A and B are shown apart, each in its own frame.
Chain A
Amino acid sequence: MQWNQIKTLFILCFLILDIFLLQQFLSVIDSRAPSESNPYSSQEEVIKENIKGLDNLPGETPKDSFITFKARDFTEDDLTELTARREQDAFILSDGDLLFSQFKEPIPIEADSTKSEKEVKVTENMLFGSEYVYWGQDEVTGALIFFQTNNSKPIYYSQSGFIAAFVNKDNEITSYIQAALDEVDRKEPKSMISAFKAVSNLYNAGELTLDSEITEQPEVGYYSFVDLNEGQQVFIPSWDITINESKHYVVMGFEGQFSSHDNPMFIRNSIRRAQDGLRTTLLEEEDMDYLRNTFSDLLESTRVSGEE
């Protein structure tokens, strides 16, 4: 055979070989690529079809930082300043980490008052009040929940940075529990996952059902899975996803883990925290007895009627 003909033959052979290799190469790229990218688009469709209120989601992916906090101690000086603002019986609990106070004259709250009007009441009558934002009302006891902020973003559902204000039947604030955090350290901001990714994490974990609706615009705040205890703790930028107005999911902004919360549970836990705080306090026995009764009455009021 002529070299010319052999060459033609070779060209054909290698052409076929190359087509095969190319096909192999593409399938290798597919299989080794991060698996997230591919099914994502179709999954996006599924979520769009099944979950309502997606237009509430902000489009941008914000940047934010890890922040390390430690508990702020309440001191006797703080109490002096506090009672000068408004007459109240304030008690320091839990080695200074927690404050419980009862107003001599309850503070009336208009039923239709705005968020900022409530926040003004807090600023006027409580310590460091300007650091707190109104979060919502516990449907069971009517208690008002305020979260401490950092960088004007709320610290979500932390038993170490909140105000729980208890109200009476006439819609007046009678007493409150407060805890506060101090920033120790802040890392460089990093890109967070998008709010949509946060929602799809919830969807993939089977937390969202067909009647789930995102009822508020998700906002960035800070959250830690781990209790602060006595030391320091890292808080992570997180999305709050509100489902059907009452259920809250806090989704961690970098890795997407989440935890679910609701206001009644938060109030119950904060009263229990105050009860525990009685164990490490310098109060007189008389005060202790009084607080013990007060807290168990408060805990009693958190029970949904009919629940025993």
Chain B
Amino acid sequence: MKREFLKTVALSILIAASLLLTLGIWNYQPNYDELDNSNYTNETLRGGKEETKKSIVEPSKVIINSNGSYSGFNDKTRQDELYRKMQDWSLIGFEEGIKTDQELPDSDEYMVELIFPLEVPASAIRDLFTVEDHNIEQVQRGSFDRIFLRLNEDDTINMTFFNTEAMMSMESTVQNANAANLVEKYAEIDDQIDYIRYEAGADTPIYLPRESRELKELTFSADAFTTTAELDPLLNSLLLNREVLKSNRMEGGGRSYSDGIRELRAHESEKYMEYINPLPENRRIDNWELVNQTVNFLNTHKGWTNSSQDEYQLYELNAQQNEVTYRLVYKEYPVFGEMDQLATINIVWRNQPYKYNRPLFQLGDSFDYGSPSNLPMGTDIVNFLDNTKGSSGIKDIMIGYKLVDEGISVRLEPTWFKKDGGGWSELDLSELSGLEEG
């Protein structure tokens, strides 16, 4: 009997051990050194939101092609609607991987073209769309700036992700049965404006609205958050050492905050901040991982301080510098600042923010119904481009708003912007008036 008793004891011990180990695996937390969190507050930026990767990448233009004539939605919210629905489509394909040396599809081959303001890394496809296919792994290294939708006879849709810089493409198929219906329904919406397809030499075509929409010049109150109390969530999130934090009045107004290592400079009247944390350069990380980490970082202090009509969108990615720029977009029109710090959240990432520059205000109430602007028409722009040297370097042209700082308010002026090798900038039309007169 003694043997049986020992066996009972052994079994009990083993059972107890298995329970303990299971609990251990679930609950194990290493003993980190106690961090001094006494000053830590869980506050976040006033009026700030959280965003997902899915919502910050959007096409800047959606062009509908019907038998060689091009148009786009007059009401830009339609464009957003269609794209959001596309994001729910379930994609398969990609088994051919990245195809190089591709030609752009002929105009009779596709129905809808989506144009993005930057080269989106292919690893984003999985987050932006719904992909249940392992073949997606095969296109991890690519990127795209346009998407073409082709409607087949059998009501399926082919979705081609195209890189117009490298002339490479990735093919996928939409699995949803009603996708073709949806696209056709949107293509038939009456409220559309004509686009001119402008081909500068052998380059990728650029689409410009033929007659500029009646965009108005708008004035908003600028709800600034530049006081120490309002910046508190940022100071926490940026790991400034609160124990030794010193704040000094800056010469041009505003305050600088520093713990001897990191420095945050909040410019009061200009309504933006600069932050620097002297970290050594580190390995380059994957572009989309960079977006992932910076979105998470911004979410921790609710750094997306857009209001209901506007949003921040991913606009530039610089792999060499680990730098990412999120731009303010008002009703689907991008905003470019006279001082661009007022319209962009710019982060250089080295596992933590190394540099972090951002506006310190939110668009508030609109003061008036706006005054009409005398924006040149798309046809004028095309004439202008034809008569201007060096316009072949232009990769895209679109209407956006120029943000002009007026102290307690900001004004948004509809303006033409171009994208070339140096990124986005205002299209210099000073010669345009001269052409008309002459």
Contacts and interface: CB of A to CB of B under 8 A. Distances in A.
A263 to B, nearest CB: 21
Contact of A257 (B18, B246, B250, B261): B261
A231 B282 CA distance: 33
Contacts of A8: 7
A259 interface: yes
Contact of B278 (A11, A22, A225, A231): A225
A229 B261 contact: no
B18 A4 contact: no
Contact of A187 (B14, B244, B251): B244
Interface stretch (A26-34, A101-109, A128-136): A26-34
B19 to A, nearest CB: 9
A206 B279 CA distance: 13
B32 interface: yes
Contacts of B261: 224-226, 236, 252, 255, 257
B8 interface: yes
A25 B261 CA distance: 39
Contacts of A4: 4, 7
Given A24-B25, A226-B260, A232 B246 contact: yes
Given A11-B14, A66-B260, A233 B246 contact: yes
Q: Among the interface residues B17, B243, B260, which one has the most CB atoms of the partner chain A within 10 A?
A: B260
B145 interface: no
Contacts, number: 113
B30 interface: yes
Contacts of A257: 261, 277-280
Contact of B21 (A11, A22, A224): A22
B320 interface: no
Interface string A25-58: 1001100111000000000000000000000000
Interface stretch (A12-20, A75-83, A139-147): A12-20
A41 B358 CA distance: 41
B11 A14 contact: yes
Contact of B244 (A7, A18, A68, A258): A68
Q: Among the interface residues A29, A33, A257, which one has the most CB atoms of the partner chain B within 10 A?
A: A257
B259 A234 contact: yes
A21 interface: yes
B88 interface: no
At the interface, is chain A mostly helix, strand, loop or mixed? Answer: mixed
Contacts of A11: 7, 10-11, 14
B18 A14 contact: yes
A233 B25 contact: no
Nearest to B279: A257
A236 B260 contact: yes
Interface in A206-236: 206-207, 223-226, 229-236
Q: Among the interface residues A201, A224, A226, A235, which one has the most CB atoms of the partner chain B within 10 A?
A: A226
Q: Among the interface residues A201, A207, A231, which one has the most CB atoms of the partner chain B within 10 A?
A: A231
Contacts of A258: 278, 280
| Contact-size category for A | 35 or more
Interface in B265-300: 277-282
Contacts of A1: none
A48 B289 CA distance: 34
B99 interface: no
A84 interface: no
Interface in B136-174: none
A255 B24 CA distance: 32
A223 B260 CA distance: 8
Contacts of A205: 280-282
A230 B7 CA distance: 79
Contacts of B323: none
B132 to A, nearest CB: 28
Nearest to A65: B244
B322 interface: no
A4 to B, nearest CB: 6
Given A34-B32, A207-B280, A234-B246, A229 B251 contact: yes
Interface string A228-272: 011111111000000000000000100101110000000000000
Contacts of A17: 14, 18
A83 to B, nearest CB: 32
A45 to B, nearest CB: 22
B15 interface: yes
A200 B243 CA distance: 27
A21 B260 contact: no
B102 interface: no
A234 B278 contact: no
Contacts of A25: 21, 24-25, 28
A150 B17 CA distance: 58
A7 B28 contact: no
Q: Among the interface residues A14, A24, A206, A236, which one has the most CB atoms of the partner chain B within 10 A?
A: A14
9 contacts: A8-B7, A14-B17, A15-B14, A18-B17, A28-B25, A29-B30, A226-B260, A230-B248, A252-B261
Interface of A: 4, 7-8, 10-11, 14-15, 17-18, 21-22, 24-25, 28-29, 32-34, 66, 68, 187, 201, 204-207, 223-226, 229-236, 252, 255, 257-259
- In the A-B complex, the 10 residue pairs with the closest CB atoms: A231-B248, A205-B280, A14-B14, A234-B260, A21-B21, A226-B258, A224-B260, A234-B244, A66-B244, A236-B260
